[in-house]
Amino acid sequence: MSSGFEVIKAGAFTLIEDKGRFSFMNIGVTNSGFLDEFAALKAHKILNNSYDCNLLEITFAGIKLKATANTIVSITGAKCEFKINSIEKSTWQSYNIKKDDILEITKILKGQRVYLAVKDGFTITKELGSYSTTLKEQLGAFEGRVLKNGDYLPFSEQKNFLKKRLKKEYIPEYKDELVLRVVLSYQQNSFSFKEKEKFFNSIYTITPDLNRMACKLSGESIKSELNGIISEGIAFGAIQIPKDGQPIILLKERQTIGGYPKIGSVLSIDCFKLAQMRPGQKIRFEEISISLAQEKLKKFYSNFIQ
Amino acid sequence: MNIEIASVDSVIIYFGDTITKENSLKVKAAYKILKELNNSALIEIVPSYVSVLLTYDTFKYNYKEIKELLEKELKDIKISSINEESKNIVTIDVYYDKEVGFDLEEVAKKSNLSVDEVIALHSSKLYDVYAIGFLPGFAYLASVDERLKTSRLETPRKKIPKGSVAIADTQTAVYPKDSPGGWNILGRTAFKLFDKSLETLSLITIDSKVKFNPITKEQFLSQGGEL
């Protein structure tokens, strides 16, 4: 029998993701990709994986996998109840998995998304240059659908073992409140000083409309002097302000073009933190200059250069 | 031309603030120039009606540097450089009938035209592609004859069948897959707008021109069309 995981229970929303699908936005194909790049790339780093590898993004608990061969896994992201053969284990470290071992995530305790990587990734085929599942476009692994019971996740069997654990100080703590840094951009000039002041001095609540496409907020209403705009390309993290004045932050699976005024864009590395927030939790915005933002971005990715 | 920050690693280049053929031609010319630079640091180039969004590698260029590069490369955009006699004319066969064109009669009524006149007007024009987006392969085509101008439905439909040919204001488009939408549906095509088996994925690009060709129900079905 080939080596891989038998999916005994898939969980409600488990996807295969990688860094995303690029250079097809011009024909309307979204980027997709793992929402929390910090956790996902760390999962790969723990295994010395290439950063182009794929892994599982698990949004609700209830996943149960059975190994048919030896491998090494790492689990990062949301704080969860993770068990190997019914014994509770901690996350942000590697585990050597033997044939017939059962892996389970039974509860997500803090945060929203768990990442489960195997050594060298799952051996599946890419579609349009990426493994990433995009549900609305039916692209990527398993023809663009969520994982289901009975699926098979092939990997190449590992002979060597590896023990690696992230130092506690590097493990993020998922809090109930988050400050998102914003680069003023796009139609920012159509927002008066007063409106911008309101925007940066308010506390917004994350609504249940939080998914891989976007995060809708509720709180102080912001007005643009523009009614709408001519549809244009939407950047990752762009904050659009529709007529009701409630900001929407656009994430990895956003539409490629759209027509609402935008006050600015959330720094991408802060969107990764947003991916671990839940409805009802609070966020605040803080301005950051483009030069400082670019410095922060480079510093973030410098940790993940091979 | 006006370059603005879009996000930490992207800029947006505006060529005007109204939807005109001239602005659209500038967008297409700029898109072509940027594509032909073949520069791997330019990660996404997203043309739309009057703008091009560009995502770039911040390890290669900072904001100031990318702005300088764009100002240099796009300095002498000539819209005449785009051949108006576009070779890439895509013909889309359409079965126009109330059976699949749910709003055909309503559009005719609102425009004081007969159904046949609506079909004739819609299929007689050669349309420009103004933008592609919303869904993979969804091309915004313009402009439909003034007489056909019909505003979007007040309540969007939850499901518009794949292949539906629709109009909204002066634009027309084909739904590449089942999706919600508020455009007025005139007919249906078996033409694949987004085809994963093709190297180009989409037969329609921003440089294409599109023509609709009325066909019978039998022809539509023989092309693999579904009712």
Residue B82: predicted pLDDT: 53
List the CATH number of the domain containing A278. Answer: 2.40.100.10
CB contact under 8 A, A26 and B132: yes
Q: Model confidence over B138-194: pLDDT tens digits?
A: 999 999 999 999 998 888 899 999 999 999 988 999 999 999 889 999 999 999 988
Cβ–Cβ under 8 Å, residues B18 and B142: no
Measured between beta carbons, the chain B residues lying within 8 angstroms of A256 are 46, 133-134
Residue B200: predicted pLDDT: 75
pLDDT at B85 over 80: no
Note whether B114 and B8 are same-domain residues.
no
Note whether B60 and B96 are same-domain residues.
no
Whether B227 maps to a domain, the answer reads no
Of B49, B81, B113, which residue sits at a domain end?
A: B81
Note whether A46 and A131 are same-domain residues.
yes
Whether B124 maps to a domain, the answer reads yes
Note whether A125 and A195 are same-domain residues.
no
Mean pLDDT of chain B: 93
Note whether A44 and A157 are same-domain residues.
yes
Whether B130 maps to a domain, the answer reads yes
β-partners of residue B55 are B10, B44
- Supply the range of the domain harboring residue A13: 4-170
Measured between beta carbons, the chain A residues lying within 8 angstroms of B177 are 138
Note whether B97 and B178 are same-domain residues.
yes
Note whether B115 and B213 are same-domain residues.
yes
Note whether B94 and B19 are same-domain residues.
no
- Supply the range of the domain harboring residue B213: 89-222
B4 at A interface, C-beta within 8 A:
yes
Q: Model confidence over A93-122: pLDDT tens digits?
A: 999 999 999 999 999 999 999 999 999 999
Cβ–Cβ under 8 Å, residues B161 and B178: yes
pLDDT at B88 over 90: no
Note whether B173 and B209 are same-domain residues.
yes
The structural domain count of chain B equals: 2
What value does the mean pLDDT take over residues A67-72? 98
| Closest residue on chain A to B10 (Cα) | A235
What value does the mean pLDDT take over residues A195-216? 97
Note whether B65 and B139 are same-domain residues.
no
Note whether A228 and A150 are same-domain residues.
no
Q: Which residues of chain B from 73 to 112 reach within 8 Å of chain A, CB to CB? A: none
- ipTM attached to this prediction: 0.95
Name the residue among B10, B43, B131 with its Cβ closest to that of A257: B131
* DSSP SS3 for B73: helix
Of B13, B46, B81, which residue sits at a domain end?
A: B81
Residue B195: predicted pLDDT: 85
β-partners of residue A95 are A73
Note whether A185 and A37 are same-domain residues.
no
Name the residue among A24, A235, A237 with its Cβ closest to that of B53: A235
Measured between beta carbons, the chain A residues lying within 8 angstroms of B50 are 230, 232
| Closest residue on chain B to A268 (Cα) | B8
CB contact under 8 A, A291 and B51: no
Note whether A69 and A151 are same-domain residues.
yes
Residue B201: predicted pLDDT: 83
Cβ–Cβ under 8 Å, residues A224 and B45: no
| Closest residue on chain B to A269 (Cα) | B8
CB contact under 8 A, A28 and B49: no
Nearest-CA distance A64 → chain B (Å): 32
Which residues, including other chains, have CB under 8 Å from residue A299's CB and lie 6 or more apart?
A: none
| Closest residue on chain B to A128 (Cα) | B196
Chain A residue set in contact with B, beta carbons under 8 Å = 22-29, 31, 127-128, 136-139, 183-186, 230-238, 255-258, 265, 267-268, 290-291, 293-294, 297-298, 301
CB contact under 8 A, B8 and A290: yes
Nearest-CA distance B161 → chain A (Å): 15
Query: Tokens 């060529």 map to which residue?
Result: B15
Whether B52 maps to a domain, the answer reads yes
List the CATH number of the domain containing B60. Answer: 3.30.1360.40
Of B55, B81, B107, which residue sits at a domain end?
A: B81
The structural domain count of chain A equals: 2
Note whether B204 and B145 are same-domain residues.
yes
pLDDT at A193 over 90: yes
Note whether A225 and A208 are same-domain residues.
yes
Residue B160: predicted pLDDT: 94
Name the residue among A128, A137, A297 with its Cβ closest to that of B58: A297
Note whether B174 and B146 are same-domain residues.
yes
CA distance B190 to B125: 20
Whether B111 maps to a domain, the answer reads yes
Give B52 or B195, the one with higher predicted confidence.
Answer: B52
Q: Model confidence over B138-151: pLDDT tens digits?
A: 999 999 999 999 99
Q: Model confidence over A137-177: pLDDT tens digits?
A: 899 999 999 999 999 999 999 998 888 899 899 999 999 99
Note whether A116 and A249 are same-domain residues.
no
Q: Model confidence over A238-290: pLDDT tens digits?
A: 999 999 999 999 999 999 999 899 999 999 999 999 999 999 999 999 999 99
Note whether A122 and A165 are same-domain residues.
yes
Note whether B216 and B146 are same-domain residues.
yes
CA distance A21 to A43: 20
Which residues, including other chains, have CB under 8 Å from residue B110's CB and lie 6 or more apart?
A: B150
- What's the pTM? 0.94
Measured between beta carbons, the chain A residues lying within 8 angstroms of B174 are none
Nearest-CA distance B3 → chain A (Å): 10
Note whether A157 and A125 are same-domain residues.
yes
Short-list B28, B12, B8, B9, CA closest to B131: B28
Of A135, A170, A205, which residue sits at a domain end?
A: A170
Note whether A94 and A159 are same-domain residues.
yes
Of A109, A140, A170, which residue sits at a domain end?
A: A170
Whether B205 maps to a domain, the answer reads yes
Mean pLDDT of chain A: 96
Name the residue among A27, A139, A268 with its Cβ closest to that of B202: A27
Residue B86: predicted pLDDT: 61
CA distance B181 to B158: 7
Of A151, A170, A189, which residue sits at a domain end?
A: A170
Q: Model confidence over A14-52: pLDDT tens digits?
A: 999 999 999 999 999 999 999 999 999 999 999 999 999
Residue type at position A200: F
Whether B186 maps to a domain, the answer reads yes
Note whether A228 and A266 are same-domain residues.
yes
Interface size A-B, in CB pairs within 8 Å, comes to 137
User: How many percent of chain A have pLDDT more than 70?
Assistant: 100
Note whether B31 and B117 are same-domain residues.
no
Note whether B120 and B213 are same-domain residues.
yes
CA distance B223 to B218: 9
Residue A50: predicted pLDDT: 96
CA distance A252 to A44: 19
Q: How confident is the model at residue B198 (pLDDT cuts 50, 70, 90)?
A: confident
Query: Tokens 């995530």 map to which residue?
Result: A105
Residue A9: predicted pLDDT: 98
